[in-house]
């Protein structure tokens, strides 16, 4: 029973961290760059929401300022890359380092607690009490349902935005920057927009995680980029990209959920929490090796005796079916 409860909590956390995975996907897959800013912007989201709640602001209103903070973090990285011509990896590391001190300034100390009654958790519990008399539903399940709604809304907005002319230009920038520039589109602008939206989503994820775990810490973003990459790769390995852009976005979130489930399951088996980074490295290494192993198995199968004959028979069978269908 304890294992099932831990899995429920893992799925809930995976959905909230899924927004971070979506942000990392925008830079890693769409813009085709490695943005290390996310380690700082994730913690920045938690720091801003915790500091504003401590000052008496409504917890829902803090998300607006959290998103603005994330946009600014991405803007700084983008300006250093596009205007100062600093390598994107180095520019993002510099922003990440700067955000550590900025986050400390925002909170005033390394960590800030959030009272449950002053967080979105209390509002979520209140809604469920109204919908389900007696409040028989567990808190983790309530957060899970809330996470599903948030993720669905964000994916819908991203799907719409990247279907617009400007959104398509951002997607094209990562595929062929020279072609986009030849069409008269400023690639500096598309890069800036992509980095800003990415870090805005990451900061939102950090704020949601902070409010649900009821504290923000200056180090809560450590290793975020690795977790994001792990989520993306796991999603691609298990779900692929067969049904269009909306499916790819969903697979990134699903990868985040699977990652959290694996972590929770291993911890239930007795692994120490201090071994989490080692486990993360192993999970990422395995996920990265799966596509390579698949290609090697395909090449091995094709090199076996009779493989050519089987391929010819399959091709002939397909052609006959197509011919019969035309008739």
Per-residue confidence (pLDDT) for residue 313, from 0 to 100: 57
Residues in the chain: 327
- Lowest model confidence (mean pLDDT) among 85-94, 199-208, 293-302: 293-302
- Residue 287: pLDDT band with limits 50, 70, 90: confident
CATH (residue range 2-271): 1.10.3470
Question: Which position has the higher pLDDT, 47 or 2?
Answer: 47
Per-residue confidence (pLDDT) for residue 37, from 0 to 100: 94
Per-domain residue ranges of the chain: 2-271, 276-327
Max avg pLDDT among 139-143, 232-236, 268-272: 232-236
The burial class, CB within 10 Å (0-12 / 13-18 / 19+), for 213 is middle
Four-CA torsion 244, 250, 251, 252, nearest 10 degrees:
120
- Lowest model confidence (mean pLDDT) among 62-66, 159-163, 293-297, 321-325: 321-325
156 pLDDT higher than 70: yes
Max avg pLDDT among 7-16, 46-55, 128-137, 299-308: 46-55
| Stretch (H or E) spanning 108 | none
Identify which of 189, 155, 196, 190 has the alpha carbon closest to the alpha carbon of residue 174: 190
Question: Residue 136 is encoded by which pair of tokens?
Answer: 């028989």
User: What is the tens place of the pLDDT at every residue in 199-233?
Assistant: 999 999 999 999 999 999 999 988 888 888 888 88
- Residue 76: pLDDT band with limits 50, 70, 90: very high
Cα atoms found within 13 Å of the Cα of residue 120, Cβ hemisphere only:
19
* Angstrom distance (rounded) from CA 191 to CA 199: 12
Mean pLDDT calculated for residue range 186-190: 91
78 pLDDT higher than 90: yes
* Angstrom distance (rounded) from CA 75 to CA 290: 35
User: What is the tens place of the pLDDT at every residue in 13-55?
Assistant: 899 999 999 999 999 889 988 899 999 999 999 999 999 999 9
Residue in this structure with the two tokens 């603005």, named with its chain if needed: 68
- Lowest model confidence (mean pLDDT) among 12-16, 158-162, 181-185: 181-185
- Lowest model confidence (mean pLDDT) among 149-163, 178-192, 282-296: 282-296
292 pLDDT higher than 90: no
Identify which of 71, 76, 70 has the alpha carbon closest to the alpha carbon of residue 92: 76
DSSP letter for each residue of 251-265: HHHHHHHHHHHHHHH
Task: Provide the greatest CA pair distance for the chain.
Answer: 77
Per-residue confidence (pLDDT) for residue 317, from 0 to 100: 56
Percent of the chain with pLDDT over 70: 89
- Residue 269: pLDDT band with limits 50, 70, 90: confident
Mean pLDDT calculated for residue range 71-86: 94
132 pLDDT higher than 80: no
């Amino acid at each position: 029973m304890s294992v099932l409860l831990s899995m429920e909590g893992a799925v809930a956390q995976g959905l909230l961290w899924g927004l971070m995975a979506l942000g990392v996907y925008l830079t890693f897959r769409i813009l085709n760059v490695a943005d290390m800013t996310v380690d700082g912007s994730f913690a920045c989201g938690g720091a801003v929401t915790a500091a504003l709640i401590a000052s008496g602001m409504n917890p829902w209103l803090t998300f607006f300022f959290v998103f603005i903070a994330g946009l600014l973090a991405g803007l700084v990285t983008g300006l250093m890359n596009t205007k100062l011509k600093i390598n994107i990896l180095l520019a993002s590391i510099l922003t990440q380092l700067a955000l550590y001190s900025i986050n400390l300034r925002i909170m005033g100390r390394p960590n800030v607690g959030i009272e449950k009654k002053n967080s979105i958790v209390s509002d979520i519990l209140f809604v469920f009490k109204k919908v389900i008399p007696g409040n028989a539903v567990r808190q983790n399940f309530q957060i899970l349902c809330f996470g599903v709604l948030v993720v669905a809304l964000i994916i819908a907005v991203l799907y719409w935005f990247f279907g617009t002319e400007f959104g398509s230009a951002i997607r094209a920038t990562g595929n062929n920057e020279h072609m986009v520039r030849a069409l008269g589109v400023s690639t500096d602008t598309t890069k800036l927009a992509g980095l800003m939206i990415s870090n805005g989503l990451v900061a939102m994820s950090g704020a949601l995680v902070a409010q649900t775990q009821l504290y923000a810490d200056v180090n809560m973003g450590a290793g975020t980029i690795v977790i994001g990459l792990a989520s993306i790769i796991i999603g691609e390995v298990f779900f692929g990209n067969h049904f269009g852009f909306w499916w790819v976005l969903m697979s990134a979130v699903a990868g985040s959920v699977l990652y959290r489930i694996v972590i929770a399951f291993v911890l239930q088996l007795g692994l120490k929490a201090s071994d989490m980074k080692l486990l993360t490295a192993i999970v990422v290494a395995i996920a990265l090796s799966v596509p390579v192993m698949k290609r090697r198995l395909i090449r091995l199968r094709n090199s076996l005796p009779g493989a050519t004959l089987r391929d010819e028979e399959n091709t002939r069978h397909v052609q006959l079916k197509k011919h019969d269908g035309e008739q």
